[in-house]
Amino acid sequence: MKAVIAVPPIRDFYFTPHRASALGARVLARELVESGWDASLLNLPLAGKPRNIPLQAELGYLERFLIPLETGPLSWFTSYRRFGPEYSESADTIAAVHPDMVFISCFAWAYAEEARELALAAARRMPDVPIVIGGHGPTSLPGYFLKSPHPVFPDMPLFSLVVSGEIEGHGRLLTESMNRTGSTDRYLDLRGMTSRTELRPVAGESIRRADRRSISIIFTRGCPRGCRFCSNHICHGRKFRSSASDLWEEEVIRAAGDTGKLNLNIEDDNILFLKKNLFELIESLGKQFPDITFSAENGLDYMLLETEDIKRLKESGFTNLNLSLGVLSGEQRARENRDGDPEKLAGLIRYASEIGLPVTTHFISGLTGDRVEDILGTLSFLDHLPTRIGISNFYPVPGLPGFENPEQFLKCSPRLALGSSAYPWTGSLTTTQMMTAFRLARWSNFRKEQESGRTGTPSEEDLYDTVLQAAERHSAELHTIIREGRIRKVIPLPNLDSNMIEGFFSCRS
């Protein structure tokens, strides 16, 4: 039996290489092969060149924040983009394999519409071929997929099977469900089911980044902590589980092949629960791949880090440290059920800076109960420290506390649940305030880069100076750079919250 596993093309403002690692789809491919299938993976967001597309109607409220001519280090996104071919073309690619079954991997609820559109195109092209869907999206809201009708046979469902939870260790159950002839039960719920097989690490595609190939990998699943904003448990549960650490290195070596210079991006949220194993791995890999570098772009839990760990991470090949702050103030932490110690974080950031390890500290804006003062307080705290600021807008996933009602998600576009959509889900901050916070974070990063050593050409440096001086003169306005033909110039940023900007600069003075 031949199976194609397709990761749908997506529409978004951006797509980072580690989001393209398709780890869930790879786990499925492994399961199917081990259950006797001939399975191939089509990672469609990586096929062809990304291209600009018109902003979709439901995102029209973002139009006034887009500056298409914007360029340089202060930029937000300048256009909306498509990553991967048209759905009909994607369906042709799938059909060319002559599959007996198509599996669609929907790795986030926000891309549910893309997954459904790909399924519709595949069903039109191959009406008799069953389509199965799984991943974080269907796990969060299976009803959206279960209700979709087939485009050629309107009395039939689009999806022959909708799967929730982890497929790992359950390939056999999947096959059995598909073989139940005449069954009307089209929902396979694997959440909380114990697998009889051992968990294994899984590495993604090797993607070129600067002078090296980057591979994302995950060793563990699940998290026992209960941060209110986090959706990890919806698919992976609250029990922390790890693959056997003696399999870790083997998987890296398998995935690395002969890639040349390698960066290993460790995707696990909680890899520091296994700090000893982590160090054993990276130190051993350092002996085998002398110029290997490491990253953990999802962010490391700073509460589990000590200064000696930071030194060791740097010596082992970490070239940038991503730290997860989440939220800063005690009140926010209590609300979000999140552990934290700002003083400890500040000490670790200063230490990393002293030993020459750049830090990016990530926080979330727009959570329930967030006030403008909370966001300004966090921005100001990080602005005064030697760290880049990574800011993410809160977005809900069906099933998170306060977002349990599926109807709320069925009556609006799933793509409003993208961080890049800056949609005011909780009502605590407006889109304008979230955009302003983002711009302030960019400005802070830009200022620090400028102060740490100039890297631009002389004409760029003049523009950069103008941006910084403009901020001094107009403390309620931020500026950016645009390119008109061969001319670049500094313009004020429109449509931001001037009170917030003023508040930020008054904290700085």
Spatial distance between the Cα atoms of 75 and 439, rounded to a whole number of angstroms: 8
Task: Give me the least distance between CB of 267 and ligand SF4, in Å please.
Answer: 11
Residue closer to ligand SF4, measured from CB, 225 or 312: 225
429 binds ligand SF4 (CB under 6 A): no
Which of 118, 227, 359, 400 contacts ligand SF4 by CB under 6 A?
227
3-class SS of residue 273: helix
Which of 223, 264, 271, 400 contacts ligand SF4 by CB under 6 A?
223
Task: Give me the least distance between CB of 98 and ligand SF4, in Å please.
Answer: 40
Stretch (H or E) spanning 266: strand 262-266
- Which of left, alpha, beta for 366 (phi over 0: left; psi -120 to 50: alpha)? left
Q: Which residue has the tokens 């114990």?
A: 194
CB-based contacts of 62: which residues, under 8 Å, 6+ apart? 55, 421, 422, 431
Residue 103 carries which DSSP code? E
| Backbone dihedral angles phi then psi of residue 300, each to the nearest 5 degrees | -95, 150
Q: Which stretch binds ligand SF4 (CB under 6 A): 28-36, 195-203, 219-227, 387-395?
A: 219-227
269 binds ligand SF4 (CB under 6 A): yes
Between the two ends of the chain, the Cα-to-Cα distance in Å is: 68
230 binds ligand SF4 (CB under 6 A): yes
Which of 40, 232, 450, 466 contacts ligand SF4 by CB under 6 A?
232
Residue closer to ligand SF4, measured from CB, 212 or 225: 225
Spatial distance between the Cα atoms of 441 and 383, rounded to a whole number of angstroms: 8
Residue closer to ligand SF4, measured from CB, 243 or 380: 243
Task: Give me the least distance between CB of 322 and ligand SF4, in Å please.
Answer: 13
Spatial distance between the Cα atoms of 507 and 363, rounded to a whole number of angstroms: 19
Q: What is the DSSP string of 329-354?
A: SHHHHHHHT----HHHHHHHHHHHHH
Alpha-helix runs per DSSP H in 230-320: 232-236, 248-256, 275-288, 307-316
Spatial distance between the Cα atoms of 25 and 28, rounded to a whole number of angstroms: 5
Task: Give me the least distance between CB of 367 and ligand SF4, in Å please.
Answer: 12
- Which residues on neighbouring strands pair with residue 365, listed in sequence order? 393
29 binds ligand SF4 (CB under 6 A): no
Which of 19, 225, 314, 371 contacts ligand SF4 by CB under 6 A?
225
Task: Give me the least distance between CB of 81 and ligand SF4, in Å please.
Answer: 28
Q: Which stretch binds ligand SF4 (CB under 6 A): 10-18, 65-73, 78-86, 222-230?
A: 222-230
Residue closer to ligand SF4, measured from CB, 19 or 474: 19
Residue 318 carries which DSSP code? B
Task: Give me the least distance between CB of 464 and ligand SF4, in Å please.
Answer: 35
275 binds ligand SF4 (CB under 6 A): no
Residue closer to ligand SF4, measured from CB, 369 or 401: 401
Which residues would be at the binding site for ligand SF4 (CB under 6 A)?
223, 225, 227, 230, 232, 269
